[in-house]
Chain A
Amino acid sequence: MKNIIFTLLIIVVMAGASQAKVDLVTLPSRDTVQLTIYNSADMTLVRESRALTLKDGKNKLQFSWANTLIDPTSLEMLPKADADKIDIAELTYPPRVRNLGLWNIESGVSGKVPVEITYLTSGLSWRAFYMGTLTENEETMRLQGYVRVTNNSGEDYENAQTRLIVGKVHILDQIAELARRQYPYGRPGQIEPEMESLREELDVAKKVMTRTSLRVINLALTPKPKEIRKEGLSEYFLYTIEGKETIPTGWSKRLLSFDVDEVPVVNLYKYEEERYGTSVVRFLSFKNDKEHELGETPIPGGMLKVYRNAGGEGHLSYTGQSSFKYIPVDEDVELNLGAVANVVVEPKLMDFKTENYKFDRRGNVSGWDEIRTFKVEVKNTRDIDVKVEIKRNFNTTYWKLTRSGDFGEFEEVDKDTVKFTLTLKPRSKRTFEYVLRTYHGTREEDWR
């Protein structure tokens, strides 16, 4: 559907007369169109090139955007040739007409002039999602990244160069709301937009879109999957899809972003009572770097569905899913696949005592120590190596800890949290102990 319509009114001012002759010309369709689609906001930057036929003197270009979702305040037109001879003096939104604008152009040349028109629209979106396929031994994973581009803009974009922006931009107004304003810049002393009527219009627009999208039946097929070129710009990443795409309104398209065969993964299990209760939670961990066959660009956040190869005939079993955040290059990825029962962490309080009592002048207890001995049993019932992280939180910052046994790596995370990291062989068990002394009342003064 073509809803953005440009009409060229050529107004030649007659010498000595105040009347003008008006020629109406509908603009030829777009020569090229480029879409830059954002996913942190409902926003797309559209850049199209068209050829205007201008006459020497005053020209008026009329455009209308009824039934689209474009932000009229974002419209800009720039001549791509004879820029010094063409003055795009002003843009007028005439009274009592909706969805219409007029550019006043002073041209010093006569003939065809290529122009570039840019604007922001809503209704196009994209998201990333992933498929992971673990090998049977779960040492590596095939990771396939996809992007899915959806066009609900009300406008068909044919043969568009399609680009996607990964990153979080700051915007003040929703483009969809700007698109539905009665007056592009609102009116003085009034808060735009009027939400209720807006919503109705949006519903209507959606219905229209659904209906018109049924017209389109076939999608162009390409003999091989398209490549996506990735590059960094400012705080964002720009993905450019090879070639041109036609995405009619109402349709979406899935494209392969990357496909890495053997990403080494660590089967990480975490235990933290304050966060996960008494269950062990499984994570799949890898790093966005070269060693993991990745690290070319950041990985945009999205949902990952994880499967595992089952048997030799290409059968799969579904392991679980996890959403993950944006991963910069060289950062660790930890994908939460949920609670499991095949790795067990069991901390047990083995001994409790108090000592070092202090008394005030009235003979009341003013300070004491509490000593707890914990035994932690970690069991791996799986057939593969696992890594286990155990976090313990204390309710006080006045504590001392001594540890014994097979406790692996130990780290003080913050003032009241410690972490034990252990690696377990298939079907194995490790046990360690720690003694926690906490200082209470006036005994706090004797800490450290």
Chain B
Amino acid sequence: MVLGLVVVTIAEGRIKLVALPERAATVIRLDNPRATLIEEERVLTLQTGLNKVDFSWKAVSIDADSIRLRVLEHPDNVTLLNVSYPPNEAALVWEISSDGDYAETVRISYLLSNIDRLITYKAIADKAETFVDLKSYLILRNFSGEDFAKARVLLDYGESFEQGIDHEETKQMLFLKAAKVPITKIWTFDAARLPWDPEQLENQNVGIPVSYRIVNDTDSKLGEFALWGGKARLFQDDGHDSTIFLGEDVTALVPVGEKMELYIGDSRDIVVTQRKMRDTQINKKYNNDRSPKLVLYDTDEIITAKIENFKDSPAVLTMIQHIPGQWDMEKCNLKYEKKDANTLEFEIKLPARTPDGPATTELTIHYHQRNLRPGVNIRPMPTGPQPIIRR
């Protein structure tokens, strides 16, 4: 770069160069993930009258409209009159009126591209998967074109800190450490996303997605601030003074009080076999044509799901079922929560496998879709992806 700061005083003619002002206190403000704000203080030698200050930059990308100038010492005596942009230059010219000769400290702020921060998480679960030791790292990446020998780095929370970072440099710093953060392990079967009948698949397992849930609150030894989004890697203590890698996921920003859900991998020890056992039309109404046409009908549908737990530990499966349109439940053998008009959520407690074999739980849903009109409603069939098409 980089920043050329040239003070030109009008009274003295066309050009008067003043020694390039040194950069004083610099702040890198990373509280907005979309843009990084740089604030730097410089001393301008101003003379009485109109001063033109040239601010130009090279090999860096600055949003010219974001540049602001703030007079720190004599705000009542020094006035910024206007800003102009010279043609075909990465520069701007401030016209500053001063009522005296001052060595004035000003703060210049601007949005600088290609300098940002990332957040990553590393969590180690205990063997029983009841808590994690959570660490979060801040990664500063500077590809702006500018070297910052020393700057005060500000995030949206926590203490600011001194850090120098050169162009093309990346720095990784530990900035959050929380031991024994409680977790909940969740298995989820969504009938709209997973195949229904594993027997229809040739030599493929259907993995049930497994996630860890962490609540960002004080009970979890967190809850002081929102947890930024980033990549999380999860490990588990293996009981032999070592760990295994469980999986990784990306979390979005988690505000205080909200939950972070990290998908780690798939369980193949819980097997769901879902089948449609009945799907017929009932309560059919015809019009009065001489060849009567079907105009309105209901359906009579039965879905069964066999859930087998091959694990030697119990588990709670969240099962999500979808029924489109208008519907009534005729009979359902397990309790569910209606999450919205068309989504049913079951929390199914699965006992552990016994010496006799897997623990099997059966779900039967018998329902009616109501007031379907041929050709008017295209009835979306609540079936999962069917890898084998049968004619």
Contact = CB atoms under 8 A, between A and B. Distances in A.
A312 B332 CA distance: 60
Contact of B268 (A168, A172, A366): A168
B280 A398 contact: yes
B143 A187 contact: yes
Contacts of A217: none
B349 interface: no
27 contacts: A47-B243, A88-B174, A92-B169, A93-B171, A118-B243, A169-B265, A170-B248, A183-B143, A185-B118, A187-B141, A234-B246, A236-B244, A240-B240, A274-B391, A298-B310, A301-B205, A329-B269, A330-B310, A331-B358, A360-B290, A361-B292, A362-B290, A414-B275, A414-B277, A415-B277, A444-B280, A445-B284
Interface stretch (B15-23, B78-86, B87-95, B108-116): B108-116
Interface stretch (B67-75, B97-105, B121-129, B362-370): B121-129
B168 A95 contact: yes
A323 B201 CA distance: 13
Contact of A364 (B169, B235, B291, B357): B291
Contacts of B210: 234-235
A188 B116 contact: yes
A234 B129 contact: yes
B296 to A, nearest CB: 13
Nearest to A120: B245
B37 to A, nearest CB: 14
Contacts of B391: 274, 395
Contacts of A36: 242, 244-245
Contacts of A326: 205, 268
Contact of B358 (A34, A165, A330): A330
A415 B249 contact: no
A33 to B, nearest CB: 11
A235 B236 contact: no
Interface of B: 113-116, 118, 120, 122, 125, 127, 129, 139, 141, 143, 166-174, 197, 202-205, 207, 210, 231, 233, 235-236, 238, 240, 242-250, 263-269, 271, 275-282, 284, 290-292, 302, 308, 310-312, 353, 357-358, 388, 390-391
A38 interface: yes
A171 B233 CA distance: 9
A234 B236 contact: yes
B265 A170 contact: yes
Interface in A183-235: 183-189, 232-235
A48 to B, nearest CB: 11
Nearest to A94: B169
Contact of A74 (B166, B233, B278): B233
A328 B268 contact: yes
A331 B169 CA distance: 53
Nearest to B144: A188
Interface in A142-187: 163, 165, 167-172, 183-187
Interface in A96-121: 96, 118, 120
Contact of A89 (B173, B236, B265): B173
Nearest to A92: B171
Interface residues of A, number: 75
A73 interface: yes
Contacts of A184: 170
Contacts of B125: 234
Nearest to B288: A361
Contacts of A120: 245
Given A47-B242, A238-B244, A393-B390, A183 B266 contact: no
B51 to A, nearest CB: 35
A43 interface: yes
A447 interface: yes
A85 interface: no
Given A120-B245, A167-B265, A238 B233 contact: no
Given A169-B264, A170-B263, 9 more contacts: A92-B170, A92-B172, A93-B169, A93-B171, A120-B245, A275-B390, A329-B312, A336-B203, A448-B280
Given A301-B203, A415-B279, A361 B141 contact: no
A34 B245 CA distance: 13
Given A238-B238, A328-B310, A93 B170 contact: yes
A95 to B, nearest CB: 4
Nearest to A165: B244
A355 interface: no
Nearest to B267: A235
A235 to B, nearest CB: 4
Contact of B238 (A43, A89, A94, A233): A233
A45 B205 CA distance: 25
A406 interface: no
B268 A235 contact: yes
A329 B141 contact: no
Most buried by A among B242, B250, B292: B242
Contacts of B207: 168
Contacts of B139: 185
A185 B114 contact: no
B138 to A, nearest CB: 9
Contacts of B266: 167-168, 170, 235
A172 B248 contact: yes
B242 A328 contact: no
B169 A95 contact: yes
A395 B284 CA distance: 21
Contacts of B265: 40, 167-170, 234-236
A174 B152 CA distance: 35
Contact of B279 (A169, A238, A362, A397): A397
